[in-house]
A = this chain, B = another copy of it.
Amino acid sequence: MISKAEPERGFPDIEFEKRTQNAQNMMMDKGISALLLTTEPEIRYFSGFLTQFWQSPTRPWFLVVPGKGRPVAVIPQIGRECMERTWLTDIRTWDSPHPDDDGIKLLADALKSLTGNKGRIGLAMGPETHLRLPLNEFAKLNEAIGEQEFADATGILKSLRRIKSDLEIAKITHICEIASEAFDTLPDIVHTGMSESQIFRRFKMKLIECGADDVPYIAFGAAPGGYRDIISPPSDRATEPGDIMILDTGSIRDGYFCDFDRNFAFQHASDDAKHANKILYAATKAGIDASRPGSSITDIFQAMMHIMESAGYAPGSVGRMGHGLGMQMTEWPSIAPFDPTRLEPGMVMTIEPGLTYGDGLTMVHEENILIQDGPPRLLSRRADPELPIIKD
């Protein structure tokens, strides 16, 4: 059972006021007169606008954070009612889709009036971002804003979003508990001989049963002696004794993700797999232990690498060994030697060492932690040190 009380859904207005105020302080420092946001997490971060309607690629959506005051929504009419339930008061809509002008003039007018037609408009242009607007429409927008210009605001969004508030931490903690609970039931609901896709489906339903709103991500691997790949969908192959299985889930509740995995062996595990598991458990511990405020990402990466390399293993193909976690399943920073970030209290991170062993096999462990003064707080229930065995 999920032990803690469910955090209330949504946020009080003060949460959005703080986020907006923090953004505006940074904008002033950088000479940015307004932020223009086009993507789901960024629009939700400043407004609280939560909907699955983003599944439809048809319509563009915009949020403008001016230098002062509340953000202004420039959105398709279909979203008005939902946006009116947020803390926003200035909501401008057009009938979308529209063949001639799908909101560009309305947006350009909003930008002009909110910036006094001067200054730079901040836009996410850096790593892990994209513009959710057709390139042709972006060209029209560039035209329409006249003498104003766009400037890269990735740094502002990154530094805001990587420190989680107490309310955000409560939401992430809750979904981590839900997924921990679902993982713990696995040996009871999975049996040797079930097909990969049956297990996948069973696990997904268990996550929802335990309280997840949605399960946008399950990575699945199961194969004799070990898996090779952690991003493929499950097949209809029946599992066999000696299979090693990984299940990794990015589940959400109230718009916040967990992201961690568990490994299991069907009936028995090879010594190779057991040993890989043991080393990864130790590498994860080293990563967790190294995650203190002020630690450099490089140090955490090296702490994990050291354990794996000392035991004679090469790293896996993931390209990093953990990352930020929150409104998106993967957020800045990356636990990789190139990332200059130093940890700060309030960051939520995945610790995710992976190694290769045997003939092209791979294994990955993952836990979710909160950086705080002193040792980090585990948000996922720590994996068993021994590779769990599915007995029947």
Contacts of A230 in B (CB 8 A): 78
Closest to A77 in B: B317
Asked if A116 is an interface residue, CB under 8 A from chain B, the answer is no
A102 to B219, CA, bound (A): 23
One of B134, B219, B231, B235 near A127 (C-beta < 8 A):
B134
Instruction: Assign chain A's interface to a size class.
Output: 35 or more
CB distance from A53 to the nearest CB of B (A): 4
- Interface members, chain A 97-121 (any B CB < 8 Å): 97-100, 102
Q: Is the CB of A131 within 8 A of B128?
A: no
Q: Is the CB of A52 within 8 A of B126?
A: no
Contacts of A213 in B (CB 8 A): 201, 233
Contacts of A85 in B (CB 8 A): 232
One of B129, B135, B339 near A57 (C-beta < 8 A):
B129
Contacts of A55 in B (CB 8 A): 216-217, 250, 328-330
Q: Convert A336-368 into 0s and 1s, putting 1 for each residue whose CB lies closer than 8 angstroms to a CB of B.
A: 101100000000000000000000000000000
A334 to B204, CA, bound (A): 33
Q: Convert A33-56 into 0s and 1s, putting 1 for each residue whose CB lies closer than 8 angstroms to a CB of B.
A: 000000000000000001111011
One of B152, B229, B233 near A81 (C-beta < 8 A):
B229
Closest to A82 in B: B232
CB distance from A37 to the nearest CB of B (A): 14
Q: Is the CB of B201 within 8 A of A208?
A: yes
CB distance from A334 to the nearest CB of B (A): 5
Q: Is the CB of A152 within 8 A of B136?
A: yes
Q: Is the CB of A330 within 8 A of B56?
A: yes
Q: Is the CB of B128 within 8 A of A135?
A: no
Q: Is the CB of A319 within 8 A of B216?
A: no
Q: Convert A128-143 into 0s and 1s, putting 1 for each residue whose CB lies closer than 8 angstroms to a CB of B.
A: 1111111111000000
Q: Is the CB of A209 within 8 A of B219?
A: no
CB distance from A309 to the nearest CB of B (A): 17
Contacts of A56 in B (CB 8 A): 328-330
Q: Convert A314-342 into 0s and 1s, putting 1 for each residue whose CB lies closer than 8 angstroms to a CB of B.
A: 00011110010000111000101011000
CB distance from A355 to the nearest CB of B (A): 14
Interface of A is mostly: loop
A134, A217, A338 interface centre (most CB from chain B within 10 Å): A134
Q: Is the CB of A205 within 8 A of B216?
A: no
Q: Is the CB of B329 within 8 A of A81?
A: no
Q: Is the CB of B317 within 8 A of A233?
A: no
Asked if A187 is an interface residue, CB under 8 A from chain B, the answer is no
Closest to A257 in B: B55
A139 to B133, CA, bound (A): 16
Q: Convert A213-245 into 0s and 1s, putting 1 for each residue whose CB lies closer than 8 angstroms to a CB of B.
A: 111111100000000111111011000000000
Q: Convert A76-88 into 0s and 1s, putting 1 for each residue whose CB lies closer than 8 angstroms to a CB of B.
A: 1111111001000
A50, A95, A133 interface centre (most CB from chain B within 10 Å): A95
Contacts of A216 in B (CB 8 A): 52, 55, 214, 216
Asked if A58 is an interface residue, CB under 8 A from chain B, the answer is yes
- Interface members, chain A 54-99 (any B CB < 8 Å): 55-59, 76-82, 85, 95-99
Q: A residues near B, CB below 8 A?
A: 9, 50-53, 55-59, 76-82, 85, 95-100, 102, 123-137, 152, 154, 201, 204-205, 208-209, 213-219, 228-233, 235-236, 250, 317-320, 323, 328-330, 334, 336, 338-339
Closest 3 CB pairs of A and B: A81-B229, A125-B135, A99-B338
Q: Known pairs A130-B133, A214-B215; list 5 more (Cβ under 8 Å).
A: A52-B216, A55-B217, A78-B318, A124-B134, A124-B135
